[in-house]
Structure 1
Amino acid sequence: MTTATLTIDLAALVANWRVLDGLSGGSVETAAVVKANGYGLGAGRVARSLAHAGARRFFVAVAEEAAAVREALGPGPEICVFSGHMSGDTDMIHDLQLTPMLNSIDQMLRHVEALPGHPFGVQLDTGMNRLGMEPAEWAALRDIALGQNIQLIMSHLACADEPDHPMNAQQLQTFREMTDGCDVPRSLSATGGILLGPDYHFDVTRPGIGLYGGLPFEDAQPVAHISLPVIQVRDVEPGESVGYGNTWLAEAPSRIATVAAGYADGIHRAMGPKTSLFVGDEACPVRGRISMDLIGVDVTHLTEEPKALELLNAAQTVDMLADNAGTIGYEILTSLGARYRRRYTSA
């Protein structure tokens, strides 16, 4: 088989949720963010595993993402849509029983006119200037919203992965000023906010990247593992090059394995110079440029010719790969392509 294998450890995913649930506190509901197809790992399988563990509220980015989650979960668990009630979403919101997180006066009007009585949430802007009602908008709509079937009031922290950043305390204060006195569940924290402590937890936390093994949750168990099959191993003489552009020249006789994967599979070209593949704990450096479908890897030092090499494993985490590419773990996970043979494991 020449297709790379992406193994998703559902037991590790559930373990990460349980730890973050414990950190959130006994009186706080811990939801789960499964947007972007469960951060690239399969929203349906991810959501179903987390629901079995006890999660009852899930978040997606847009209404179209909710179909796989609702199919996996069936009726009952709440599915919240960060983008709110967009034009054209009414049928999906009704049929899939979604909870749009309304972001503006226009969305509020659209929702109550199209689906009177249907539950909704409200998203507030506390300084990130991305989504949500600003203080003046919320002040104008607050009494109207609280008189409807409102389920949740939320905002989002811009700098939660930097615990000492003054923006965290500023947004916390703004959120309290905008929501104190509202007899509605409140939510401010994703993974980073959970780690900031109880002042940021309110009634509902909504971890995302930490569930999937990424920073800032340093104690997370790795969830994604990638193995790349070796197509060919060849001898390269001193002075010969490997890959496009002659960017690597052999200084000594070398054995180069060509593996079946590349940037079409989310293995970013930029990570090549700093990245190795592994046989267990044995590092095998990438040689030459990562191309669309193929990568050259130095296996000269191995005593046996490998049949496969690992890209993501205990020795090289998703955030290490992200550092190699000059990006973040979120982008690595959500860039994983459609060609992988996906395997799900659980305890």
Structure 2
Amino acid sequence: MPKHGAAVLTIDLDAVAANWLALRARHPSGPVAAVMKADAYGLGAARVAPRLLAEGCRHVFVAHLSEALVLRPIVPEGVLLAVLNGVTEGSEQAFLDHGVVPVLNDPGQVARWSAAAVRAGRRLPALLHVDTGMNRLGLAAAEVRRLAEDPAPLAALDLLYVMTHFVSSEVADDPLNATQAARLAEARAMLPPAPASLANSSGVFLGALGASDLARPGAALYGINPRPGTPNPLTCTVSLDAPVLQVRDTAAGDTVGYNATWRANRPSRIATVAAGYADGYLRSLSGRGIAYSRGRPVPMAGRVSMDLLTFDVTDLPDIAPGMSLRLIGPECPPDSVAERAGTNGYEVLTSLGARYARVYAPVRPLG
């Protein structure tokens, strides 16, 4: 049984590095960044970052300034460390003090960072985000036109990239992909010259349509399939193994778990394992989850509870306390778990809990 009875989450840094290298090979038009927001999608940014930096990654993106400050001691000054959510009021000095670069998402952020540059007496680096259809962050078309007519706020800035974000790049034939690429080109033509950043994880697989000066994959680095409905071209990076705490015999007609949602239709053996929704094993997997024992599927019996899961191991008589059942891994990758849970692999990974015993695979250079 794992130490202290905790489920073991194994993160394969070799697989993360291999995925980054595979994405880089698919994007010959420019470098490939690593998006490490949400603690590298739940895998641990402090461990993922050094590995990817060792492989040659020179662009790191996070969502919040707080995430960048955690990584700053790990990411050297020569590597771009950028914050996707931009520079909020009052945060300018922290960006300056730590050499963090904001993505500017609206005229207010442009003005705020420009003013900080004037105060600092030097041009400050930034990325400019143009909205081309997502309608979340980014300058709207009218705001880009106004900035083109009065580019003074940009004079104090060193524009590293003009970027946008695909809406549905995982759907290769969605015409919106080409529309967005064209809108980005139109915006760049109105703005001071700067390289472009376009492709996210799925965008890397759009070929020439997703080509730009910098790709920004996130989930694909961690093994999420960037091409749903087709075989995953990338490698699963995590395995989650939960210890069996108890195995009990139940009679036909007995129920298991809260609200008696599962009833045995034969004499059955039920294994209870140490994981639950408090650990990020989603409650929507109740009655739908599947674990594996040495490659053999084991169906869930009943609901996901906070700390415990129950599985019907009747057909696997060798299962006993002290063994483990696999909840996530190559046999049941995050995308497969997500499909059963009615969500996506992103949520499965970013929900991984803090109670797991985390193990990182040996680090060896691949490049």
Query: Is the TM-score greater than 0.5?
Result: yes
Q: Render the CA deviation track for 1:191-237: whole Å, top value 9, x for unaligned.
A: 11110112322100011111000022521100011000111111111
The answer (yes or no) to whether the contact 1:272–1:324 under 8 Å persists in 2 is no
Q: Secondary structure at the match of 1:197?
A: helix
What is the correspondence of 1:1-347 to structure 2 with a 5 Å cutoff?
A: 1-25=4-28, 27-116=29-118, 117-142=123-148, 143-144=151-152, 146-147=154-155, 148-180=157-189, 182-217=192-227, 218-306=232-320, 307-346=323-362, 347=364
Counterpart Cα distance in 2 of 1:101 and 1:335: 26
- Number of aligned residue pairs: 346
State the AA in 2 paired with 1:121.
Answer: L
Q: Render the CA deviation track for 1:244-276: whole Å, top value 9, x for unaligned.
A: 000011111111111001011111111132221
Comparing 111-120 with 258-267, greater Cα deviation is found at 111-120
State the AA in 2 paired with 1:7.
Answer: T
Q: Render the CA deviation track for 1:38-96: whole Å, top value 9, x for unaligned.
A: 00111111111111111100110111111222122233211111111111322321122
Cα deviation for residue 183 of structure 1 reads: 2.5
Counterpart Cα distance in 1 of 2:139 and 2:222: 30
Comparing 16-25 with 60-69, greater Cα deviation is found at 60-69
The answer (yes or no) to whether the contact 1:232–1:259 under 8 Å persists in 2 is yes
Comparing 182-191 with 234-243, greater Cα deviation is found at 182-191
The answer (yes or no) to whether the contact 1:94–1:115 under 8 Å persists in 2 is no
Cα deviation for residue 140 of structure 1 reads: 2.1
Cα deviation for residue 103 of structure 1 reads: 0.8
Counterpart Cα distance in 1 of 2:153 and 2:193: 12
Q: Secondary structure at the match of 1:180?
A: helix
Counterpart Cα distance in 2 of 1:19 and 1:315: 22
Counterpart Cα distance in 2 of 1:314 and 1:271: 18
TM-score, structure 2 normalization: 0.91
Change (3 A) 1:145 1:58: farther
Q: Secondary structure at the match of 2:54?
A: helix
Counterpart Cα distance in 1 of 2:177 and 2:95: 32
Counterpart Cα distance in 1 of 2:246 and 2:327: 17
State the AA in 2 paired with 1:337.
Answer: G
Same amino acid, percent of matched pairs: 40
State the AA in 2 paired with 1:6.
Answer: L
Runs of 4+ in structure 1 over 4 Å off: none
Cα deviation for residue 318 of structure 1 reads: 0.4
Q: Secondary structure at the match of 1:12?
A: helix
The answer (yes or no) to whether the contact 1:33–1:208 under 8 Å persists in 2 is yes
The answer (yes or no) to whether the contact 2:285–2:340 under 8 Å persists in 1 is yes
Counterpart Cα distance in 1 of 2:30 and 2:49: 19
State the AA in 2 paired with 1:14.
Answer: A
Counterpart Cα distance in 2 of 1:298 and 1:115: 63
Counterpart Cα distance in 2 of 1:337 and 1:88: 32
The answer (yes or no) to whether the contact 1:45–1:72 under 8 Å persists in 2 is no
Cα deviation for residue 145 of structure 1 reads: 5.4
State the AA in 2 paired with 1:149.
Answer: D
Counterpart Cα distance in 1 of 2:238 and 2:13: 9
State the AA in 2 paired with 1:31.
Answer: A
TM-score, structure 1 normalization: 0.96
The answer (yes or no) to whether the contact 1:90–1:115 under 8 Å persists in 2 is no
Counterpart Cα distance in 2 of 1:233 and 1:194: 46
Structure 1 unaligned blocks of 5 or more = none
Structure 2 unaligned blocks of 5 or more = none
The answer (yes or no) to whether the contact 2:262–2:287 under 8 Å persists in 1 is no
Counterpart Cα distance in 1 of 2:152 and 2:308: 57
Counterpart Cα distance in 2 of 1:209 and 1:311: 19
Counterpart Cα distance in 2 of 1:59 and 1:322: 25
Comparing 67-76 with 148-157, greater Cα deviation is found at 67-76
State the AA in 1 paired with 2:317.
Answer: T
